[in-house]
Amino acid sequence: YNGPYLAQECVDQTACQDLSNGAVCTALPCDAGSTVCLGNKVGVCAADGQTLGKITEDCSAAASICGADLKCAKTAVDILGVAESVEGVGSTSFIGDVIDVTSSRKLTEFSVNLVLGGPRELRWVVYEQTGTTFTARVDKLVPNVTSTGFVSSGALSYALKAGKRYLLGVAISGGDGVAYYDTAPTPATSTGNTPTR
């Protein structure tokens, strides 16, 4: 009514990131002078902590993606978070992570660190944020899962688009389980062709 106003100021090593449904303050993607993968390019982080001052390899030009090892490759595995805490998960719960994709990738698999006490039915879901809601884009049901540890979704094929936010997760049916998770959010890395554990 009275015009624009300051909702939040991004300070202390953060920057304003424009998303499809608004903007948020996020950690700077790199430390000045460090070698990083940014925008699917390998290079040296500029003084602003948001761009590359020097590009040493352009993975997009080679039809590749940048991995955690700071090299271009045809596939990449990104591990988000560490197993800091455990929590019992009821059969009505959904376990997931929200990720912001900064370079387009193809999701071919993801996994969650679980302990299952017996055969369970797992529903693997990929949601894409549209406006202020998440819309299911992939919904895969896997029956009789008895694994423990990093339990896989199995083969998937879904394009994750740069600039979009996604929620990847799993729901357990047929009994309870235990999930390992991060106590605090972990800064996102790129999501690769064989992503997220």
**Backbone φ and ψ of 93, nearest 5°:** -95, 155
CA–CA dist 192, 195 (Å, integer) = 5
Helix/strand/coil for 55:
strand
Could you tell me which of 69, 56, 123 has the C-alpha nearest to residue 96? Answer: 123
For 49, 50, 81, 103, the CA distances from 30, given in Å and listed in that order, are 5, 6, 18, 15
For 11-19, what is the mean pLDDT? 75
Q: In the predicted model, what is the mean pLDDT of residues 96-125?
A: 88
Instruction: Give percent of the chain above pLDDT 90.
Output: 29
User: Over the stretch 116-157, which tens digit does the pLDDT of each residue have?
Assistant: 989 999 999 999 998 889 999 999 999 999 888 889 999 999
- Judge residue 4's burial from the number of C-beta atoms within 10 Å of its C-beta, 0-12 exposed, 13-18 middle, 19 or more buried: exposed
Residue of 95, 89, 92 lying closest to 112 (CA atoms) = 95
Q: Cα separations (Å) of 175 from 73, 132, 171?
A: 40, 32, 11
